[in-house]
Amino acid sequence: MKKIALILSLLLAVTSQTLIAKERGGLSAANGKGATEQVLTVNINSADAKELSRVLTGVGLKKAEAIIEYREKFGPFKSANELTAVKGIGEKTVEKNKSKIKL
């Protein structure tokens, strides 16, 4: 019984965090291949550095801050591939994260 309560409380915590992130407009959950598989996505034109670094594979806080600096200097990204113009982000990083990036 304790295990069930623990599992339910963990599930509730994860669900609550996802809902909070969705309300902020940075993260969303999209079902890819089934009800059990969720892919977190991030809007590279509105997310803060913490959200970017949490969702994008290979992007730490410094690279996420560079994304925001680029966005502020040159305006919103028109495509995910434009991220390669940000210092430290290459084609491989963009390719790994295509399913997680939204505009």
How large a percentage of the chain has pLDDT more than 70? 63
Question: Hey, what are 6's tokens?
Answer: 């623990």
- Bridge partners (DSSP) listed for residue 30: 39
Domain count of the fold of the chain: 1
- The CATH number of the domain holding residue 68 is 1.10.150.280
pTM for this prediction: 0.65
| pLDDT at 31 (0 to 100) | 43
Q: Phi and psi dihedrals of 58, rounded to 5?
A: 80, 5
* DSSP 8-state code for residue 103: -
- Residue 42 is part of which domain span? 2-102
All residues at 6 or more sequence positions from 99 whose CB lies less than 8 Å from its CB, including other chains: 32, 39, 41
pLDDT tens across 12-62, in order? 555 555 545 554 555 555 544 444 457 799 999 999 999 999 999 999 999
Terminus-to-terminus CA distance in the chain, angstroms? 44
